[in-house]
Structure 1
Amino acid sequence: MRQWFDTEAGAEGPDRSPERIDWLRVVPFIGLHLACLGVFVVGVSWIALAVAAALYAVRMFAITGFYHRYFSHKAFRTSRGLQFVFAVLGAASVQRGPLWWAAHHRNHHRHSDTARDVHSPVVRGFVWSHMGWFLTNHGFRTDRSVIRDLERFPELRLLDRFDILVPVALAAALYGSGVLLERHAPGLGTNGPQLLVWGFFVSTVVLFHATVTINSLAHRWGSRRFATRDNSRNNWLLALLTFGEGWHNNHHHFPGSARQGFRWWEVDLTYYVLRTMAALGLVWDLKPVPAAMRGVRRMPDGSDGRT
């Protein structure tokens, strides 16, 4: 049970059953979903919905802009301070720490849609690719050999080890805020339990399932502009839900770009925010898509791979 709070607990032990789901360790994950049923008890208010939506947006950007494009692919540069701020916001998403996330994602690109890809829906099926893989003994571990560049930051190592403390703090802050609003602004119609359920549990669960559709759905449904070695797809609906991540075939064609919507009509909210941050001097050196990489690359059979 120490592993609920300390990701390094038991990390040195043998990995005897790498693909066995560790049911004791995933109890909090199951509880996170069950807690959403609290909406039938606490009711709803406009402010609870607004807080849930705002936390979805902020944390989705932390995942897409920083966990993915920055920590995993180094698609731009930023200061050490801002790097840590968005690492904390990413950890608030309950998608584990930045080192764990980046390590698994880098290995995904190395072995995409092969037997060594831990979350390929082509090889392992939808449910496993969507959430089964990271509930296993192997999924909990971090391949530190692929994140040497990130491990040199002690604050990131500490955050990664005790990543659960951030969402716990967020949940406590939401509950406390609701209590204060009920006391000092009763006209808003909210309270501690309501903000906790909507702002934390519901928002987090929706955020999680939207994020992991890129593992499961974006390798099965959509169009293929580029003849990548995997089954990655471009899906406009997933792109809207995940702030641009749904242009997944584009991304696998050229992973190093800060932009995943290669065409003007491919909406990429994460890239727009990064451009704004660059204009403010908060980030810089956003890597573009080389012009030679933008053209349609035909499939081996001569088609464009569209479905």
Structure 2
Amino acid sequence: MFTMSKTMEKVFFVLTFIFQGSNYLSAYKYGIMHRLHHAHADTEDDPHSPKYSENLFDMMWKTKVYYTAMADPEKAGVDAKYLKDVPEWHAFDNFANHYLVRITWGVLYTLFYMQFVGDAYYLYALLPVHYLMSPVHGAIINWFAHKYGYTNFKVSDTSVNLMPIDLFMMGEGYHNNHHKWGARANFGVRWHEIDPAYQIMKLMNFVGIIKMKKPGKIQPDSKGNKKHAAA
């Protein structure tokens, strides 16, 4: 969808660490997993598929095991074609993924709650979500967006669009669209499917942080079926 300089890549590694904290996900590891998910969606080789998990938590655990294995994808048997041009900063990943660093973030979150929550103890129920925000987000997409929603396109997997207006997942909930056109930056297709993340990407492209590829758009063919074409 876009490229960025190696310096800017490192900036975003650090920003990811700051904003994800205890649930930091490596762009390298998850980038490989995402490619594998698209290449093998809803098969036994899919890193996270509801079809091959007994329940949501089983899928999350399998994803965690797969994520850990991606520290050495070649040893895990991943084809070299899935490793090409994935953002890499292994030294930083090793630091950010260390269990002591994750625990430190969790302690800081807890101290923040203790300082500002006061007597509203029920709010402490949100702490586990804060500890695991990235896996929770991933689970919502990889479980529910393969089970509940509507489709715009017939695809070879179970991906669906979670909601007609997606503000909560920043456009990632248009999962059926994304599985149809995996390299398309704008996940929205229909008039009401506004992709907030795409708007941010356009701004970042405008100021030179990233360089987006030429956008594409969905056009109907002579039979009324929607097809993808270069803009």
- When the two structures are superposed, what TM-score results if normalisation uses the length of structure 1? 0.56
Contact 2:153-2:180 at 8 Å conserved across structures: yes
- Counterpart residue identity of residue 172, structure 2: E
Comparing 280-289 with 121-130, greater Cα deviation is found at 121-130
Residues 118 and 244 from structure 1, CA distance in 2 versus in 1: closer, same or farther, beyond 3 angstroms?
same
Contact 2:165-2:194 at 8 Å conserved across structures: no
Match of 2:48 among 116, 119, 128: 119
Unaligned runs of 5+ in 2: 75-79
Q: Decide which structure has greater helix share.
A: 1
Residue equivalent to 1:100: 29
Identical-pair percentage: 26
- 2:202 aligns to what SS in structure 1? helix
- Counterpart residue identity of residue 86, structure 1: F
Match of 2:84 among 126, 148, 153: 148
CA distance in structure 2 between the aligned counterparts of 1:293 and 1:95, rounded to whole angstroms: 41
Pair 1:132-2:132 in alignment: no
Contact 2:219-2:226 at 8 Å conserved across structures: no
- Counterpart residue identity of residue 211, structure 2: W
CA distance in structure 2 between the aligned counterparts of 1:246 and 1:287, rounded to whole angstroms: 23
Residues 262 and 238 from structure 1, CA distance in 2 versus in 1: closer, same or farther, beyond 3 angstroms?
closer
CA distance in structure 2 between the aligned counterparts of 1:159 and 1:139, rounded to whole angstroms: 16
Q: Decide which structure has greater strand share.
A: 2
Residues 214 and 235 from structure 1, CA distance in 2 versus in 1: closer, same or farther, beyond 3 angstroms?
same
- 2:167 aligns to what SS in structure 1? helix
Residue 122 of structure 1, CA deviation: 2.2
CA distance in structure 2 between the aligned counterparts of 1:81 and 1:297, rounded to whole angstroms: 39
Q: How many equivalent residue pairs? A: 207
Deviations 1:12-54 (A, max 9, x none): xxxxxxxxxxxxxxxxxxxxxxxxxxxxxxxxxxxxxxxxxxx
Match of 1:240 among 141, 152, 167: 167
CA distance in structure 2 between the aligned counterparts of 1:282 and 1:210, rounded to whole angstroms: 25
Residues 169 and 87 from structure 1, CA distance in 2 versus in 1: closer, same or farther, beyond 3 angstroms?
farther
Match of 1:279 among 180, 190, 206: 206
Residues 266 and 163 from structure 1, CA distance in 2 versus in 1: closer, same or farther, beyond 3 angstroms?
same
Residue 139 of structure 1, CA deviation: 4.6
CA distance in structure 2 between the aligned counterparts of 1:87 and 1:255, rounded to whole angstroms: 23
Higher relative contact order (CA 8 A, sep 6+): 1
- Counterpart residue identity of residue 250, structure 1: N
Contact 1:78-1:282 at 8 Å conserved across structures: yes
Residue equivalent to 2:77: none
Contact 2:151-2:176 at 8 Å conserved across structures: yes
- Counterpart residue identity of residue 208, structure 1: P
- 2:191 aligns to what SS in structure 1? coil
Residue 124 of structure 1, CA deviation: 2.6
CA distance in structure 2 between the aligned counterparts of 1:79 and 1:263, rounded to whole angstroms: 32
- Counterpart residue identity of residue 101, structure 1: Y
Match of 1:90 among 3, 8, 16: 16
Contact 1:227-1:297 at 8 Å conserved across structures: no
- Counterpart residue identity of residue 117, structure 1: D
Residue equivalent to 1:78: 4
- 2:96 aligns to what SS in structure 1? coil
Residue 231 of structure 1, CA deviation: 0.9
